[in-house]
Amino acid sequence: MNTPPPPTSTKKDPIVRVRSLSKVYRQGDIDVTALNAVSVDIQPGEFVALMGPSGSGKSTLLHIVAGIDRPTSGEVEVQGINVGNLDESDLAEWRNQYVGFVFQSFNLIPVLTAAENVELPLMLTRLGRAQRREQVRAALELVGLGDRMHHRPDQLSGGQQQRVAIARALVTDPVLVVADEPTGNLDAKSATDVLGILASLARDAGKTVIMVTHDPKAAAYGTRSLHLEKGEIVP
Amino acid sequence: MTTWTFILKNALRNPRRSVLTVSSVAVSAALLTSMMTLQRELTVPPESEGASLRIIARNKVSLVQPLPARQLAEIERIPGIVAVTPFTYFGGQYNDEEFTSFAQFAVEPRRFRSLLVEGRVSGGDYDAWEKDRTSCMVGRDTMKRYGLKVGDRMKFRGTFYPCDLDLRIAAVFEGTVDDRGVFFHHKLLDELTGDLGTVGTWYLRVESAEKVPGVIAAIDGRFANTAAEVRAESERAFQMGFVGMLGNVAALIRTVNGVIVFTLALVSASTMSMTIRERFREMAVLKALGYKRRDLLGFILAEGFGLSALGGAVGIGGAWAAWTLLDIQRLTGGIFIVFEVTPRIMATAGVVAALLGIVASLGPAISVGRMSVVSGLKTLD
Amino acid sequence: MGTGGEAWGWLGLAGGVAAAFGLMSWLARLAGLPIQYNLRNVVVRWRSSVATVLGIAAVVAVFVALRAMARGIEASSASTGDPDNLLVVRKGSQAESGSLVTREQFRIIESFEGLARNAAGRPVISAEVVAIISSARSQGPGEANALVRGVTASGMELRPQVRLVEGRWFEPGRREVVVARSLSRRFRDFGMGGEVKAGRARLRVVGHFDGGGSAFDSEAWMDADEARAVFDREPYSSLLMRPTDPAAAKVLAARIEGDRRFSLRAENEVEYYSKQTMTAKPIKYIAAVLGVAMSVGAVFAAMNTMYASVAARTREIGTLRVLGYSRRAVVACFMVEGACLSAAGGLLGCGLARFTNGLATGTLDFQSFAETVFQFRVTPDLMGLGLAFAVAIGLAGSLLPALRAARTPVISALKSA
């Protein structure tokens, strides 16, 4: 790779290095370029807001960085690991250890309680039952839901559900937390709570947070905003 | 939480659907069990220890064709025979009922005694029956079915023989594979028909199993090229002959069984895939959380297997209970006697149900494996 | 097939199907939605639709095929005999093989008045002997019973539905036998020129006849007196005769049944055979039991599909309700959809069962105690029954889901993602 370092690079060891990332997919008869040779570095502890109109490629970038989608070309490195080199099974393991997900529509499993939902990613680790329970409690307390552990999602408000989802993202202590429109389905008050938690994750816990949003108010919580248009980062 | 609680909670997530799935598998498994039992009932006659020592000799023309009574002396002379009796199917209508499901046979009580190997007299007195020409010995099941007791009379209208019977019950027997028959004096039949000098068949008992083939050959040979040629066969072979006469019935039942299995597979496969498909998004979330393809495959298979195994257990258990507890004889008007749901039948039906659960969940499991996380997340509920 | 009656049957079936479709369209219109809406919904959810359709098809196919088998057995006895004939058997006998008519009785009845006379001036009456022989099957091991009928010359005259299709009739006084062609396929020795063993006696097959779908298709015919000799029988089994007219038939029957010396029963030949349906009974019984049990499974399948359809369309239903559709309209809509699914299954099932039509097979007749051959008869009315059965399954399976759909609250329907 002889791509020049991107201008946004400010420190020496970024936690996320994206190099000439392109994604082309077919929609009907035409090829759609979702990402066009995007390069970006993200430092540990940054809270990056990805902004842009719909179809700009911001979600695609997030998906590829988080290892749930594959690029057409280009590379993604997270903490020195080239994500593109991992096979399906290693990638799943990697996601479990390195990435926490927060979705727009929460995506909690309706039949499980808050604690059980948070416990799901831990089921894949070697942790014992008591240890898992301890970590689940810590994560839920962190998002202020220590008293809602045994409620099912349909017994919680939207904001509470999203906080459970954040706890689920945190419980494995990942280096990276990705959030796709986390406030899209929330009222203003809950949105503020959720954004506050995400911001404090970056500020106080040293997590790197990447959030897709099209709400400038939400983006204002971030330490940096990246704007995408037609698959490219625009200044 | 354990993986199993997760699977269990998933299986019970849509209780209505789970109940429907389990019930449809249960109904099909019960049907399959019953049909296999029916097939067994029709094609495998009940075995009895004495059957291997007994021989039935009929007219070579057909079972319906009578044999001359004078053959008795000739048969008695054949070595190896313990006892021989005339054995004539009367085919009467009991009390004018439309279909009489138990048979009546004319025998010689004195000779018949040692042919009743498994049976024992449980009511009345064999000697009393032997002494009274107009009395009969009746199977316990028939006694019970019609609420009869020793000393009662039974009336039969002859459909084969141009005479009617009016018999007094002198003895009751039980312990044979078919405790329904009515036995009466051949002498009475001879009197009523004006001494035709014929019998229906000869029923005989051989000393030991090794001597059976020799005795059969001796009987067949003795009457070859006479006016009434004889076909002797073991009781078992005789019963199997009846099965053969039913023709294509066994094949028909097999076909129906095949259709049932097919329907079972279809219904559970469709339900399983519906269950999984409406959770595509969740599966994608699990994938995003780091669950691997084989983990998800395991969840789906465990759920499918569990539901169908439960359905199978309910259906097979229900069929077993029904056919064991219900009085199948009374229910079918005596057409079926044993209708035994054997462990082998239950095991077969169980394996079919469990396999179907696995096969049914394979399709959705494969599509979940193929699904990319991104496209899965886009799925609307 | 292809008789006039059957053609009308098919027309009736087509009319019934058209009427059912019209009814469904009308129901759909009642719901205020074009039936295309339902049909397209069925197609969109094709996976579960296909499974439900096939499931119902299997149920209907089994049910119709079993009924077709019973119908075939009934049809062979129902189409047997001539309405002008009188059959005389022993009182109390259930089949001709269990009947006895002495030569003396024959001689007396032969002289009764009211019997039609043939060209030669002799009364048209046949004294017959019915016997059973055990013979090797043509396929597989084992033996089966075949019914042998000894007839006199009038026997053929009395049964115009039986006609020779190969070879010649037996000659009186010779040990020759003419076998129904359909029966000849099921026994090893019943081909032309074959030698049939009856105990020590040997009967040569000199011809094949066609019984026109009647019970005679399960018989082998020979000379009555030869039969008496071969089977060592003094009396005859039955008498078949033709009275001059129906009035004479009544008088004759009353005279025979009233005669104390006889203990005989005289019955119209057609009526006698139409009652010989015991063998079909257990098959009908099994068809009913299996039909009910399997349809329960099919109802579950239909319910599953319809519930899934309702759940997936919560938003759509809400939208329809917002647009002003009533609860009743929603119920009608889903019922129509269930009926469409099951009607498709019913049509497919009937189509599959139709393949068994004309399939010749045989089993033991419980009354004659001999092999009876028959053909599966998938008649239009049976197919109509199968279709109605299918639609009933569909309606039963979609009722609860439809009611659930109707209960969907307008607002929550619109909220659901």
B38 and B66 fall within a common domain: no
Provide, as residue numbers in chain B, all residues whose Cβ is less than 8 Å from the Cβ of C97: 64
B157/C92 CB distance under 8 A: yes
Distance from CA of B175 to the nearest CA of C (A): 27
Of the candidates B93, B229, B267, the beta carbon closest to that of C51 is on B267
Domain enclosing residue B184, as ranges: 61-228
Distance from CA of C118 to the nearest CA of B (A): 33
**Closest among B82, B99, B83, B80 to B91, alpha carbons compared:** B99
Domain presence at residue B196: yes
Percent of chain C scoring above 70 in pLDDT: 95
C62/B262 CB distance under 8 A: no
B206 and B73 fall within a common domain: yes
Half-sphere exposure of B93 (CA within 13 A, CB side): 18
B96 and B214 fall within a common domain: yes
B70 and B206 fall within a common domain: yes
- pLDDT at residue A3 in the model: 47
d(CA B59, CA B50): 23
A120/B377 CB distance under 8 A: no
DSSP B116-161: -SS-EEEEE-HHHHHH-TTEEEEEHHHHHHTT--TT-EEEEEESSS
B364 and B322 fall within a common domain: yes
- pLDDT at residue B28 in the model: 84
List pLDDT tens digits, range A143-161.
Answer: 999 999 999 998 999 999 9
Provide, as residue numbers in chain A, all residues whose Cβ is less than 8 Å from the Cβ of B278: none
- pTM recorded for the entire structure: 0.77
d(CA A150, CA A164): 11
Q: What sign does the CA torsion over A62, A67, A73, A79 have?
A: positive
Half-sphere exposure of B30 (CA within 13 A, CB side): 24
B247/C363 CB distance under 8 A: yes
- pLDDT at residue B381 in the model: 42
Q: How far is CA A133 from the centre of its chain?
A: 24
Select from A72, A101, A108, A172 the residue whose CB has the most chain B CBs within 10 Å, as the one to mutate to test that interface: A101
Of residues C297 and C272, the one with the higher pLDDT is C272
Closest alpha carbon within chain B to A129: B1
Low-confidence stretches of chain B (pLDDT beneath 50): 380-381
- pLDDT at residue C416 in the model: 47
> Model confidence at A174, in pLDDT bands (50, 70, 90)?
very high
Interface of A with B (CB under 8 A): 63, 66, 68-69, 88-89, 92-97, 101, 103, 107, 109-112, 115-116, 119-121, 123-124, 168, 172
C199/B65 CB distance under 8 A: yes
B273/C47 CB distance under 8 A: yes
Closest alpha carbon within chain B to A113: B1
> Model confidence at C417, in pLDDT bands (50, 70, 90)?
very low
- pLDDT at residue C413 in the model: 58
B141 and B256 fall within a common domain: no
B31 and B77 fall within a common domain: no
Second-level CATH architecture of A44-67+86-234 = 3-Layer(aba) Sandwich (3.40)
- Listed by start position, the domains of chain C span 3-78+278-415, 92-262
Provide, as residue numbers in chain A, all residues whose Cβ is less than 8 Å from the Cβ of B275: none
B271 and B361 fall within a common domain: yes
**Closest among C97, C173, C157 to C364, alpha carbons compared:** C97
**Closest among B248, B68, B87 to C199, alpha carbons compared:** B68
Provide, as residue numbers in chain B, all residues whose Cβ is less than 8 Å from the Cβ of C293: 27, 30-31
Select from A25, A68, A175 the residue whose CB has the most chain B CBs within 10 Å, as the one to mutate to test that interface: A68
Total domains, chain B: 2
A68/B9 CB distance under 8 A: no
Of the candidates A92, A94, A110, the beta carbon closest to that of B291 is on A92
- pLDDT at residue B202 in the model: 95
Distance from CA of A91 to the nearest CA of B (A): 8
Domain presence at residue B236: no
- Distances from the Cα of C226 to the Cαs of B15, C122, C170, C173, C281, in angstroms? 74, 21, 11, 6, 35
Closest alpha carbon within chain C to B363: C47
- pLDDT at residue B167 in the model: 95
Q: How many residues does chain A have?
A: 235
Provide, as residue numbers in chain B, all residues whose Cβ is less than 8 Å from the Cβ of A103: 285, 377
CB B186, CB B88: distance < 8 Å? yes
The lowest-confidence range among A118-127, B41-50, C144-153, C159-168 is B41-50
Of the candidates A92, A111, A115, the beta carbon closest to that of B290 is on A92
- Which H or E run contains C288? helix C280-312
Domain presence at residue B31: yes
d(CA C252, CA C125): 13
Provide, as residue numbers in chain C, all residues whose Cβ is less than 8 Å from the Cβ of B28: 294, 297
Ranges of H-type helices in C32-127:
35-44, 46-78, 103-110
Domain presence at residue B326: yes
> Model confidence at C26, in pLDDT bands (50, 70, 90)?
confident
B162/C90 CB distance under 8 A: yes
The lowest-confidence range among A177-191, C201-215, C295-309 is C295-309
A68/B281 CB distance under 8 A: no
Q: Is the pLDDT of residue C407 over 90?
A: no
List pLDDT tens digits, range A4-22.
Answer: 445 444 445 899 999 999 9
A69/B9 CB distance under 8 A: no
B9/A168 CB distance under 8 A: no
Give C337-372 as a 3 state SS string: HHHHHHHHHHHHHHHHHHCCCCCEEEEECCCCCCEE
Number of alpha helices (DSSP H) and beta strands (DSSP E) in chain A: 7, 10
Closest alpha carbon within chain C to B26: C297
d(CA B33, CA B346): 7
- pLDDT at residue A2 in the model: 47
- pLDDT at residue B7 in the model: 77
Q: Hey, what's the torsion of the CAs at A203, A209, A213, A217, to 10 degrees?
A: 0
Percent of chain C scoring above 90 in pLDDT: 37
List pLDDT tens digits, range C195-246.
Answer: 999 888 899 999 999 998 899 999 999 999 999 999 988 889 999 999 999 9
DSSP B29-61: HHHHHHHHHHHHHHHSPPP-GGGGGEEEEEESS
Domain presence at residue B235: no
Provide, as residue numbers in chain A, all residues whose Cβ is less than 8 Å from the Cβ of B290: 92-97, 121, 124, 172
| Inter-helix orientation angle C280-312/B15-43, to 10° | 160
Of residues C268 and C279, the one with the higher pLDDT is C268
What single-letter DSSP state applies at residue C98? Answer: G
The lowest-confidence range among A71-85, B53-67, B246-260, C248-262 is B246-260
